Chains A and B, each alone.
Chain A
């Protein structure tokens, strides 16, 4: 499809396990973003990629969180040793270029840590 896709749509994992969340941006979009949305809350910025590099990692909540982007396209957000407070919807967005352009969001991955 033409939009941003994310997988899986839902993920239930046990506390302490690692998870990988995938984002496939709109073709040609150089900028990619990860956000977290906890239940009933606004969006919390996690990390931003321009191409394959991440000039701003300031939003990652702890060193258990990491992200990479390869080939200027697909990105993976990895959470190691998951905790219950990591339960949230993880949203990915892409934009044609830098921050001043509108971001197109994927449907999100709902992560539940039991």
Chain B
């Protein structure tokens, strides 16, 4: 069965620090998709990234970067030079592409960036 673990419940950093949010997943499928979503205090989830299981290249988007490593079943998310506006709950999610099934979300990591 698919499973997503975000071991860090809460993280607090000071503005301009770098921070990495961990995500470890379990799946028996060889084809799957991984996602990160941001849920700011307003409550609406915002899509950040989707990666498929065949593409292990790291991705950078501005201050955000993602490290996908199949060998450790991890899909970690790093925010460089964090800002107060980055404060939110971040969810990692897994979708097994070969069947119509639910997207499994991790429990989320609450990131607080202090000025």
Residues on A facing B (Cβ under 8 Å): 33, 35, 41-43, 45, 48, 50, 55-56, 58-59, 89, 91, 93, 98-108
Complex formed: what's the CA distance from A35 to B91 in Å?
14
Instruction: Count A-B contacts at CB 8 Å.
Output: 57
Cβ of B25 to closest chain A Cβ, rounded Å: 14
Residues on B facing A (Cβ under 8 Å): 33, 35, 37, 42-47, 50, 52, 91, 95-97, 100-108
Chain B residues with CB below 8 A from A42, complex form: 91, 105-108
Chain B residues with CB below 8 A from A50, complex form: 100
Q: Which of B52, B91, B100, B107 has the most CB of A within 10 A?
A: B100
| Contact A102/B50 with A42-B107, A50-B100 known, Cβ cut-off 8 Å | yes
Contact status A100-B52, CB under 8 Å: yes
Contact status A43-B52, CB under 8 Å: no
